[in-house]
Amino acid sequence: MEVDDGAELCFPQLLNTSCRKPTLPRSEAVFLNSLVFSISLLTVALNLLVIISVSHFRQLHTPTNILLLSLAVSDFLVGLLLMPGEILRKTSCWFLGDLMCSLFMYVSYIIASASVGDMVLISVDRYVTICHPLHYTTRITVRRVKLCVCLCWLCSVFYNCLFVKDELTQAERYKSCFGECVIVVDYITGAIDLVLTFVVPVSLIILLYMRVFVVAVSQARAMRSHITAVTLQRSVTLTAKKSELKAARTLGVLIFVFLICFCPYYCASLAGDSLLNTSSASFVLFLFYFNSCLNPVIYAMFYPWFRRAVKLIVTLRILQPGSCEANIL
């Protein structure tokens, strides 16, 4: 690799085997690092509140909230590990070594796959709730949901291991110079991965929610047409149905935002990196990660129980004896 005279290298002692340092202006690099670091801290803090809320309060130990807990764990890891690592990878020389680079990329794939899996499980949960309400309590239990979440993460770990095993065992194999962090996946493997981790799950999510939307609209119309002539018992039933429809809308917003943030990343992967310049590729990746910060904001906007739980956590009232039995619904 030819190096111009005066070019700054990551490791000058290696001469032409060292990568060039990123050439971003200092002010732009400082602003970018500060912005991403701030969002990283916010992502960690917000998702930690979700994790504590669902884990601590027994009223929140429901199948749907267990799925939200799993999603919050993956979002928490994005803010804790992936965002800081991406700052280092994009705006500085990678000095942690080839093995740590491969592990970083491996973890990022695991988290992305687990997030997609959680969204599929959330869609299935809403589908059964709205379309088959009489069978929900028997088909969707906390134990089964916990098992599905564990299988989702385990499958993500083993599945992605197949794609990066060469990188993990031969970390320096595809490195063109010292100081960069990239992972190379051949075209066929990348195409298979794109279909399995994006096309199939997203298609399933869209189909399930289209069905949920149709049924939810019909139920809402039925409730409006009969709301003036119901018994007390029927009123309770209608209130429960309204609650489920509201939850379906909330999780629909969550999935819609997820698709907006994830689709550009996977579409860019499908089109090929050559069609994107450096700034566009960075924006697509940033949007991909920013979804992890938006999810807790959606909970705060639509879930009163989350706002009440945060209030108890911030005021440290969860440290009081018996606080886990508090009524926050």
Burial class (CB in 10 A: 0-12, 13-18, 19+), 125: buried
Residue 94, φ and ψ in degrees, nearest 5: -80, 110
Q: Give CA separation, 66 vs 19, 140, 240, 260, 281, in Å.
A: 45, 11, 20, 24, 33
**How many CB atoms sit inside 10 A of residue 188's CB?**
8
Smallest Cα–Cα separation from 108: which of 85, 82, 86, 90?
Answer: 82
DSSP state of 316: T
The pLDDT, as a whole number, for residue 232 is: 43
The pLDDT, as a whole number, for residue 273 is: 53
Answer for the pair 73, 155: CB distance below 8 angstroms, yes or no. Answer: no
DSSP state of 322: T
The pLDDT, as a whole number, for residue 96 is: 84
The pLDDT, as a whole number, for residue 2 is: 45
Concatenated DSSP letters of 118-181 = HHHHHHHHHHHHHH-GGGHHHHS-HHHHHHHHHHHHHHHHHHHHHHHHHHHHSTTTT-SSBT--
DSSP state of 71: H
DSSP state of 20: B
Smallest Cα–Cα separation from 49: which of 224, 295, 257?
Answer: 295
Q: Which residues, 6 or more positions from 239, have their beta carbon under 8 angstroms from its beta carbon? A: none
The pLDDT, as a whole number, for residue 145 is: 96
* H/E stretch holding 46: helix 26-56
Residue 2, φ and ψ in degrees, nearest 5: -80, 140
Residue type, 2: E
The pLDDT, as a whole number, for residue 152 is: 96
Q: Which residue numbers in the chain have pLDDT < 50?
A: 1-6, 231-236
Q: Which residues, 6 or more positions from 11, have their beta carbon under 8 angstroms from its beta carbon? A: 18, 93, 178, 179
Give the pLDDT confidence of 47-74 residue by residue, as tens digits. 999 999 999 999 999 999 999 999 999 9
Answer for the pair 163, 106: CB distance below 8 angstroms, yes or no. Answer: no
The pLDDT, as a whole number, for residue 236 is: 46
Both structure tokens of 20: 């060039």
Answer for the pair 33, 87: CB distance below 8 angstroms, yes or no. Answer: yes
Helical axes 200-226 vs 98-131, angle rounded to 10°: 30
Q: How far apart are the first and last CA of the chain?
A: 63
CA dihedral angle for residue 47, residue 53, residue 55, residue 56, rounded to 10 degrees: 150
Domain limits, the chain: 12-221+231-325
**Plot region of 4 (φ>0 → left; ψ -120 to 50 → alpha; else → beta):** beta
The pLDDT, as a whole number, for residue 259 is: 86
CATH classification number, 12-221+231-325, choose in 2.60.34.10, 3.20.20.60, 1.20.1070.10, 2.60.40.2310: 1.20.1070.10
Smallest Cα–Cα separation from 173: which of 93, 164, 12?
Answer: 164
